[in-house]
Structure 1
Amino acid sequence: MNIAVVFAGGTGQRMNSKSKPKQFLMLHGRPIIIYTLERFEQHPDVDAIVVVCLKDWIGELKRYISKYGLSKIASIVPGGGSGQESIRNGVFESSRLFPSDSVVLVHDGVRPLIDDQTISDCIRCTNEKGSAVTVVPAIETIVQSTDGVIDNIIDRKRCQLARAPQCFRLGDLYEAHERALSDGLTEFIDSASLMSYYGHKLYEVEGSPANIKITTPSDYYIMRAIMDEQEDSQFFGF
């Protein structure tokens, strides 16, 4: 089975939205999280979706899921005090519901521009190699510095930006989260860094540069422009 764990547990402090979390901000009458869930709902190879949501917004999410007829939602679980804890909640719930050899695709709820090809490529790579981390090439110079002084310029050709989905065998990811919990390690920034720490090889899948994460107001406007362009192309053949 192929299971999407969609993480929508953040509060979006950098978005400066005082009324609602960023994943519930509206675009063309729909919340961002629904656009994201629809990408996995409509993909023929995704069997089920587990959503990690802010506890106080689960009721609202359920209403939207019902309104838009999303049928692959297997479970909604509350988020935790950190991103790692929230993803762990989703992984543990998936492990309760599905076989350990399932492919799990961990994805940000505020990455609504994920495309079918990337999802397919991630599933294929995980089946073949055991993992798949979506990346895009770095297009700017990357430097390292100490105390405000640049002391290393990294070869851009060897640099990639890690994005999502980040995909693994469900049993492997569950075990890594269990080990981190036992070891008292709570600061992993994403699933890729967690799995790398515990010795798993990470294989890259190149995704679309449009697959941005909506973190700041400028990201929201970029997303809106991309979605408008995609919609226009359907009508005008751009």
Structure 2
Amino acid sequence: MNLAVIFAGGSGSRMHTKSRPKQFLEYNGKPIIIYTLELFDNHPMIDGIIVACVKDWIPFLEKMLKKFEINKVRRIVPGGDTGQDSIFKGLSAAGEISESDKDVVLIHDGVRPLITEQTITDNINKVHEEGSCITCVPATETFIVNQPDGSLEIPTRADSLIARAPQSFYLKDILSMHKRARLEGRHDFIDSCSMMHHYGYKLGKVIGPMENIKITTPTDYFVFKAMVEVHENQQIFGF
């Protein structure tokens, strides 16, 4: 079984929206999170979807799922205080419907609607090959890393990648590490690959599309709108 855990539990303070969380901002009458969910709902290898959602917006999400005929959502759970907590709640719900120790889970941001069907496929295949998959894009600028002694490390751009999503694992492995982190009082892991690396897991990778951005700021939203128009034109005009 291949499950997707979509976390959309944040309020989106950097977007400066007052009326609704960023994942429910609309373009062409469709919320961003629905654009994201459609990608997983339409993928033939995805068997079920779990969404961790802002609690007060769960009724609205349920209406949107019906309106846009999203059929694979198996559970909707309230989000947590942090992104890590929201993911844990989603993974726990996934664990309740899991059927095998070899079930794969793809963890994805609700506000990352520009991935491709191929990226999802590559994630699932890579987990079967290496036990995990981190979707990355090549670094296009130079990274500078602060060292504890105040010096700067500058890794070569050729050796640098930027982690994005989905981040995918065997469900039993990532859920086990989330439980361990909670027992240790750790709620500060920035993402799932950071957690798994911390606990010694080998991380596989796939290179995903550069447009696979996380919509966090108003600028990101306008990039998203432009990319949707590009994709629509490709379908209509074939370029």
| Residue aligning to 1:181 | 182
Once the two structures are TM-superposed, the CA of residue 154 in structure 1 deviates from its matched residue by 1.7
Distance 1:150 1:207 in 2: 32
Q: Which runs of 5+ in 1 are unaligned?
A: none
Q: How far has the Cα of 1:101 moved from its partner? A: 2.0
Percent of aligned pairs with the same residue?
49
Please name the residue that 2:215 is paired with. 214
Distance apart, 1:146 and its partner CA = 6.5
Counterpart in the other structure of 1:204: 205
CA distance in 2, matches of 1:145, 1:108: 28
Q: Identify the residue that residue 88 of structure 1 maps to in structure 2.
A: 88
The correspondence of residues 4-153 of structure 1 with structure 2, limited to 5 A, is 4-99=4-99, 100-145=101-146, 151-153=152-154
Contact 1:143/1:150 (8 A) holds in 2: no
Q: Which runs of 5+ in 2 are unaligned?
A: none
Any conservation in 1 of the 2:147–2:153 contact (CA below 8 Å)? no
Amino acid paired to 1:120: T
Q: Give the partner amino acid of 2:127.
A: T
> 1:192-211: CA deviations, max 9, x gaps?
01111111110111000011
* 1:16-47: CA deviation from partner (whole Å, max 9, x where unpaired): 00110000000111000000000000000000
Q: How many residues align?
A: 237
SS in 2 for 1:154: coil
Partners of 2:158 and 2:54 in 1: CA distance: 39
RMSD of aligned residue pairs (Cα, Å): 1.2
TM-score, normalization by structure 1: 0.97
Give me the whole-angstrom Cα distance separating, in 2, the residues matched to 1:103 and 1:152.
36
**What is the CA-CA distance between 1:62 and the residue it aligns to?**
0.2
1:170 matched residue in structure 2: 171
| Deviation of the 1:70 alpha carbon | 1.0
Letter of the aligned partner of 1:220 in structure 2? Y
Decide which moves more: 77-86 or 94-103.
94-103
Residues 50-83 of structure 1: CA deviation (Å, up to 9, x unaligned): 0000000000000000111111000000000000
